[in-house]
């Protein structure tokens, strides 16, 4: 049990560090720049699609709020032995996180519909299909598993597919939040594996969005 608690401590601390480092930058690095991959107003091949970029930023704003609440939840779990657990407070935080995550998901669904009805920018398509993803990943020492997940779509020019993967990440986080809330609302905590999954999925979602933004910044 002591070994398990020590492992949980290390995992949660790492997750908190990742969230703290990334939370203030997420709105600037979550798939930003992807609007350049679509034709702009008047079917221009040189103008970014501001509507698509707007949806990306709005969704990131909702997710920023969710991450802040997840950070608070993890902090409470980490300090429970010394400060106890305020289940009423936890439920308020989780309920707010769930509401913001639902808003982020709805925004991504609107984004995906907009993207599916907008032609791709042919110039950007050509660049994405010839981009040296392997060299880029190695140079910046990026996580290969998360980076490859983004590259699979982008090397085919499937930018809308990237949005769909972001949406899937958010849906998964929402499901985990709802499982946790179903227990805390009964003044109980879920199994540690659910808390680990929440932490790890948030980290993966953040890295995924950041890597996509890196690529679009590189090809600008």
Q: For residue range 100-134, what is the model confidence (pLDDT) as tens digits?
A: 999 999 999 999 999 999 999 999 999 999 999 99
Residue appearing with tokens 């480092």: 21
Q: How many domains does the chain have?
A: 1
Average pLDDT over residues 171-177: 97
Phi, psi of 31, deg, nearest 5: 65, 10
> 118 near 39, Cβ under 8 Å?
yes
Domain extent at residue 59: 2-219
Report pLDDT for 163. 97
Report pLDDT for 80. 83
pLDDT > 70: percent of the chain: 83
**Distance between CA atoms of 99 and 88, rounded to whole angstroms?**
17
Least reliable range by pLDDT among 14-18, 103-107, 171-175: 14-18
């Amino acid at each position: 049990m002591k070994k398990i608690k020590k492992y949980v401590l290390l995992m949660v601390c790492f997750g908190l560090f990742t969230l703290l480092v990334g939370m203030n930058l997420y709105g600037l690095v979550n798939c930003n720049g992807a609007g350049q991959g679509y034709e702009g107003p008047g079917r221009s091949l040189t103008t970014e699609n501001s509507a698509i970029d707007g949806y990306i930023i709005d969704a990131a704003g909702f997710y920023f709020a969710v991450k802040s609440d997840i950070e608070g939840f993890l902090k409470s779990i980490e300090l429970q032995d010394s400060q106890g657990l305020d289940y009423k407070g936890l439920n308020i935080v989780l309920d707010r996180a769930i509401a913001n995550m639902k808003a982020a998901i709805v925004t991504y669904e609107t984004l995906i519909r907009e993207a599916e009805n907008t032609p791709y920018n042919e110039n950007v398509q050509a660049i994405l299909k010839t981009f040296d993803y392997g060299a880029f990943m190695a140079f910046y020492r990026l996580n290969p598993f998360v980076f490859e997940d983004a590259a699979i779509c982008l090397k085919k020019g499937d930018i809308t597919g990237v949005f769909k993967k972001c949406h899937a990440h958010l849906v998964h986080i929402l499901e985990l939040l709802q499982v946790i809330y179903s227990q805390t609302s009964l003044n109980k905590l879920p199994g540690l594996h659910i808390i680990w999954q929440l932490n790890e999925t948030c980290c993966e979602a953040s890295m995924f969005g950041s890597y996509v933004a890196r690529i679009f910044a590189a090809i600008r």
